[in-house]
Structure 1
Amino acid sequence: MTRFTETLLAIFTVTAIYSSLFVGVIPTPKTFHDEVLPVLPFWALVAFGAYALGTLGWGVFTFIDKEDKYKELLEEIKEAKTFSKKNGVDVE
């Protein structure tokens, strides 16, 4: 299975479970159904956003530790500036 099909399967599974909880196919306590279940998608979105920002921040924080990738990126920036100047674009 490819990563795309795994992701779609996971999204479908989570959506099916949430829908069955929301409709009442899977019985839940009234408090959970009325107070927690409606805000669960927003909580998941906020949690995913926090995870994504944390991962991005950690990657930026530890980027200096990857000396070879740092030098490769600087070389690519230099190449891009040279290419842009050659084609008449001011990059400074």
Structure 2
Amino acid sequence: MTRATEAATAGAIALVIYIAAWIGVIPLPQTFYEQILPVLPWWSLVSFGAYSLGSIGYHLMTFEDCPGAYQELMGQIQEAKIELSAKGVPIS
């Protein structure tokens, strides 16, 4: 399974559980229905945003260069220049 499929599956399961709790299929204490359940979607949205920003920040701080990818890209640029020159396109 891909990450997108796993995330969609987890989201669907969480949504089904939330709806089941909202309509009362899952028996929970009254304080949970009144105080926690209404703000649970906002709490999850804020938590996801904080996780996303933290993940992006961490990966920016630990960003590593990829010399192999650089060499591959430079080779592709040279191939493109050769092909375009063969077709008569002026390249500086």
Fold match, TM over 0.5? yes
User: What RMSD over aligned residues (CA atoms) do the two structures have, in Å?
Assistant: 2.4
**Bigger relative contact order, structure 1 or 2 (CA pairs below 8 A, ≥6 apart):** 1
**1:67 and 2:84 matched:** no
| Larger Rg belongs to | 2
The corresponding residue for 1:56 is 56
* 1:13 corresponding residue in structure 2: 13
Identity %: 44
List alignment gaps of at least 5 residues for structure 2.
78-89
Partners of 1:60 and 1:2 lie apart in 2 by 24
- Runs of 4+ in structure 1 off by over 4 angstroms are none
Distance, in Å, in 1 between the alignment partners of 2:34 and 2:58 is: 37
Q: List alignment gaps of at least 5 residues for structure 1.
A: 80-85, 87-92
Equivalenced residue count is 73
* Alignment match, 1:35: 35
Write out per-residue CA displacement over residues 57-81 of structure 1, whole angstroms, 9 at most, x where no aligned residue: 0111111xx2336x94xx88xx7xx
